[in-house]
Chain A
């Protein structure tokens, strides 16, 4: 792909998200979402591979369907209320819009497309899909938050946290594992929409930091399957240690960054006296932790048998991404800064 087109795509990817974020009118928000989808499609399809085409098709269909649903709901809203403002939606249209956005985010009962798309795209594209692409839909959820369908968000959040953990258990591809990890995290995230929007921001930021750190590490070591993880140490031994810490942070083990959102969310749920979802959510983090720890086993805690020519992998200088060090450090050490983050 020529650099010109590439930069154009990335620019429009960024711009479209910002259009959605800053729009006050449903039509503009919809335009932003569609532009966003259209600009990520060439990025996904860039590697000329049948899986990439499949991923792009699936991504397009899902996003277009969700966007169409949003358009429908906002038209309905305009019909009912006589204005296109995002801030003021009626109860029914809010429900439809929320469901459409949850489809865009890949929340559990509508999560089927998400691992497939991630598996079909390259590691960097998967990173973009699981971080940047979440922003635009999530902003819409922020904006309609004056009248959120609480039960739907809570129920689907819990289902998502459970499903992400359980289905991720039997995956062997790292991108799929990351996809299910993302589904589980998204479940925690949309529960926070019921609690406090500051908390949603904190959760989202920490999700992005930890996911970015993990994807960057996977990208640096070119790790696509769990067996590849065993070879990660030949690239960079310190990186494997950092990967383990990042994985545990993703799993939410204290005192790493990933524990912060879990702690705050559980605290807020306790505050709302929602003891049952609290317990379910806390326990739902265990299956996810299981597959993170299994990845950590492959990466750091065991040295698998290898042939002699694997030793020469480290002779090539690994392409160190500049953001790797700050990302992994942030993924590990942010918990003590928690009072600053939530205020």
Chain B
């Protein structure tokens, strides 16, 4: 674990000190190499969960896929940002890469730590680089507001978590997740408020419908790297946290989860409908994230083996798919300098190869058969159906609306007549590479879905 962690941490001095000429090449290749080495974590010959622990960190089959995905997102972020950083002075490029590397290091620590206090600290620490990414590197003035929303929604949600963790520490004398889940001293005197305090931080982070207002703002205003890491990894921190917290309070969950599941399922429909009437491309993708995360919240809360596995698969699938969609939106944005759907019509005639990526990405987003998106959705849908038959009305409706707005994105951007007097540059190798590097893991994972749960 330390070899990965130190290697990732050493990306920061690498980004700060290397020759300007080798800056992007080295950092992206280095980050990819880290991901490759991280694949070693999938080795799990015995049925121990966690299958590898030391005093501070652990690896189990929830940690490993999420960490590997976040490690894989880092080089993709670097590749995706290369174009919009080209006019920046070299020191700013260095700072950008150092920020991304810091974020990556903290994410690995968040996912692998065994201690709840450490988890909280690292969970909060991811906020700072993300805030810098959003507010320093975004382009509109509204990004400042978006940064504030992002920071304060998350902090307000997570301060009760801190108090809950400290309360656990005081009553148990330690905050190790593994022991807390085993000894369960908490459960008899667990109050409703403690449960809420433990869960609210993650509900905000996911986000649950009703607490989601920060997400579209942050996504729309963030630069491409910020959108990618937000969609791909930071939202998954919420799902990860819920999965980790549920074993601490299984009984309380059974009595408390109804409003949350109802809200998340209802929110899925609402946010999918909101997607249908957005004018902003990134905003659609952001709302579609909220919609997909609703499924994950419901699945993690009912906490059956199938639903947790489905939630893990959907988190991985959604991480790569929404990151891919943001990359595609960014290629459009870099050419047309607008995210408005009406102004970016007819790209089929200008960038035909990009249309292929858009098609594949839309199909992935609507969960077409050979994708892990479908697998995850099916597992969650069936486990929810097993929990309560009426949920199928809501989940099936959402699936329909998801298909509708995915097609809506595809048709509005790709078909129609392109606006005249727009000179668009052709697509680069870099962009095709970026899309492929998102899609290949997505398509390969269906051959071995057991890697994800």
Partner of A266, one of B95, B121, B131, B166: B166
**A contact residues around B95 at 8 Å (CB):** 241
Q: Restricting to B124-141, which residues have a CB under 8 Å from any CB of A? A: 124-125, 127-128, 131-132, 135-136
Other-chain residue from B125, B136, B163, B170 in contact with A279 (beta carbon distance below 8 A): B163
From A303, which residue of chain B is reached at the shortest CB distance? Answer: B136
One of B149-157, B258-266, B317-325, B372-380 at the interface: B149-157
Stretch at the interface among A13-21, A175-183, A283-291: A283-291
Scan residues 83-109 of chain A and give those whose CB is less than 8 A from a CB of chain B.
none
Known: A241-B95, A279-B160, A286-B159. A302 touches B124 (CB 8 A): no
Neighbouring B residues of A255 by C-beta, 8 Å: 121-122, 124-125
User: Would you call B162 an interface residue if the criterion is a C-beta within 8 Å of the partner chain's C-beta atoms?
Assistant: yes
Q: How far is the CA of A286 from the CA of B125 in the complex (A)?
A: 16
The A interface is mostly helix, strand or loop, or mixed, namely: helix
> B169 at the A/B interface (Cβ < 8 Å)?
yes
B127 touches A253 (CB 8 A): yes
A270 within 8 A of B: yes
Which residue in A259, A290, A293 is a CB contact (below 8 Å) of B121?
Answer: A259
* Residue A8 lies at the interface, judged by CB distance under 8 Å to chain B: no
Tell me whether A136 is interfacial, beta carbon within 8 Å: no
- Residues on B with C-beta less than 8 A from A317 are none
Contact B151 A271 (CB under 8 A): no
Q: How far is the CB of B62 from chain A (nearest CB, A)?
A: 23
User: Looking at chain A, what size class is its interface with the partner chain?
Assistant: 20 to 34
Kindly provide the distance from the CB of B184 to the nearest chain A CB, expressed in whole angstroms: 20
Chain B proximity of A162: nearest CB distance (Å): 14
Q: How far is the CB of A297 from chain B (nearest CB, A)?
A: 6
Query: A255 vs B109: C-alpha distance in the bound complex, in angstroms?
Result: 12
Can you name 17 extra interface pairs (CB under 8 A) apart from A279-B163, A282-B159, A286-B156?
A244-B132, A248-B128, A253-B124, A253-B127, A253-B128, A254-B121, A255-B125, A259-B121, A263-B162, A263-B166, A266-B163, A270-B169, A275-B167, A283-B156, A285-B159, A293-B151, A302-B135
Please name the 7 residue pairs, one residue from A and one from B, whose CB atoms are nearest each other, closest first: A254-B121, A254-B124, A301-B135, A282-B159, A270-B166, A301-B136, A267-B166
Pull 23 A–B residue pairs with CB atoms less than 8 Å apart, ordered by A: A253-B124, A253-B125, A254-B121, A254-B122, A255-B124, A259-B121, A266-B166, A267-B166, A267-B170, A270-B169, A282-B159, A283-B159, A285-B159, A286-B152, A286-B155, A286-B156, A286-B159, A289-B151, A289-B152, A297-B135, A297-B144, A297-B147, A302-B144
